[in-house]
Chain A
């Protein structure tokens, strides 16, 4: 069964600090891995997408890494801002099927 596990479930950080979110998956065959940001009550918005051959991709203060051998990905948020408070969802694609993680809720405090 294709599964995507994210950790931690939630975290609180101070504004300006960095944080790293983790995603482990057992999806096969692997096609690509995406990170989405979802504000409360809104739809997910794509941050990054990586294929098998890519091991890092950045989008502003967001940097995603992928280790296809260990089936792990991370999302690093640099110099966090209050607007980074949201749920971050890892999505892994196998052929034309998407498997969603439960998300990590990030709260940035002033």
Chain B
């Protein structure tokens, strides 16, 4: 049983570019949440997707957008990249309305903006 998978594992972009990160949730999970983790900091909540809709959103600008597909996989898009967007981007999956304990994280995508 595959856990949460994210791709790519590492990515290097330049300022102003756009990036798309991908996430496949753990089998049986239908909800995907995205987090940004700067070096030495805890993860910061970006948004959560369920039933292909954004259900919750953290304090992130509109440059950050997402999508969830019918198979529950998800994408995170970031436009007009800034140097400050360099971080580890984590995807976490869960079952909507299920046991809150069952939140599983992927290994993340390390994004470097030069």
Q: Which residues of A contact B (CB under 8 A)?
A: 4, 31-32, 34, 36, 41-46, 49, 89, 91, 93, 96-98, 100-103
Chain B residues near A96 (CB-CB < 8 A): 56, 100
The CA-CA distance from A11 to B102 in the complex, in Å, is 29
Establish whether residues B100 and A43, one from each chain, have CB atoms under 8 Å apart when the complex forms. no
Chain B residues near A41 (CB-CB < 8 A): 88, 107-108, 110
Could you list 19 further interchain pairs (A-B, Cβ under 8 angstroms) beyond the known A42-B107, A44-B43?
A31-B100, A32-B100, A32-B101, A34-B101, A36-B105, A41-B108, A43-B4, A43-B92, A44-B105, A46-B103, A49-B100, A93-B100, A97-B56, A98-B45, A100-B42, A100-B44, A101-B42, A103-B41, A103-B42
Interface residues on B, range: 10 to 19
- Known A31-B100, A32-B100, A96-B56; contact A43-B105, beta-carbon cutoff 8 A: yes
A-B contact count (CB 8 A): 46
Establish whether residues A89 and B107, one from each chain, have CB atoms under 8 Å apart when the complex forms. no
Does B90 sit at the interface, judged by CB under 8 A? Answer: yes
Chain A's closest residue to B102 (CB) is A46
Chain B residues near A98 (CB-CB < 8 A): 45
Most buried by A among B4, B90, B103, B110: B103
In the complex, per-residue mask of B85-114: 1 if CB is within 8 Å of any chain A CB, else 0: 000101010000000110101111010000
Chain A residues near B45 (CB-CB < 8 A): 97-98
The CA-CA distance from A17 to B8 in the complex, in Å, is 38
The CA-CA distance from A19 to B49 in the complex, in Å, is 38
Does B40 sit at the interface, judged by CB under 8 A? Answer: yes
Chain A residues near B43 (CB-CB < 8 A): 44, 89, 100
Establish whether residues B101 and A49, one from each chain, have CB atoms under 8 Å apart when the complex forms. yes
